[in-house]
Amino acid sequence: MNTITLDVSSRQKTELIDITPEVQQRVAGAGFDNGICMVYVPHTTAAVTINESADPAVARDIIMVLNQIVPWKAGYRHMEGNSPAHVKAGLVGESVHVAVNSGDLQLGTWQGIFFCEFDGPRSRRVRLHLING
């Protein structure tokens, strides 16, 4: 297994960042031909998801709904004040898997890989684990 670290910087408190081009570039640059690319976020207030990347309104809609489901003010007990970020990260998840064929991510026509920031702005890391197949 080969591991690559990707640095991501968010600019807003809650933000979905399309990291598909960077992931594709790193996979190709590693000379990885066929297998699985696991995209993993090692943070408790951030996540990763695959969703539509053609229309930026989709990412805005996802943020809107997550903010409705998990409001910033709701009597949380966590002392740091970022409980909603922890809950959102738990709902979305810390990893996704994408098949790789001939060095290309096998995403659907409209799909992209999104880093989900829920407690920004911050500098974060995303780990790409390349598993031969």
Mean pLDDT, the chain, rounded, equals: 97
Identify the CATH number of the domain defined by range 2-132: 2.60.120.460
Q: What is the pLDDT of residue 79?
A: 82
Q: Is the pLDDT of residue 1 over 90?
A: no
* Tokens found for residue 96: 């996704």
Q: Is the pLDDT of residue 81 over 90?
A: no
List pLDDT tens digits, range 9-38. Answer: 999 999 999 999 999 999 999 999 999 999
Q: Is the pLDDT of residue 133 over 90?
A: no
List pLDDT tens digits, range 93-104. Answer: 999 999 999 999
Distance, in Å, from the CA atom of 63 to the CA atom of 67, rounded to the nearest integer, reads 6
Q: How confident is the model at residue 56 (pLDDT cuts 50, 70, 90)?
A: very high
Distance, in Å, from the CA atom of 3 to the CA atom of 22, rounded to the nearest integer, reads 14
* Domain residue spans of the chain: 2-132
Q: How confident is the model at residue 112 (pLDDT cuts 50, 70, 90)?
A: very high
**CA angle, residues 105, 113, 64, in degrees to nearest 5:** 160
* Contact partners, residue 21, CB within 8 Å, separation at least 6: none
* Tokens found for residue 133: 């197949």
Percent of the residues in the chain that have a pLDDT greater than 90, as a whole number: 92
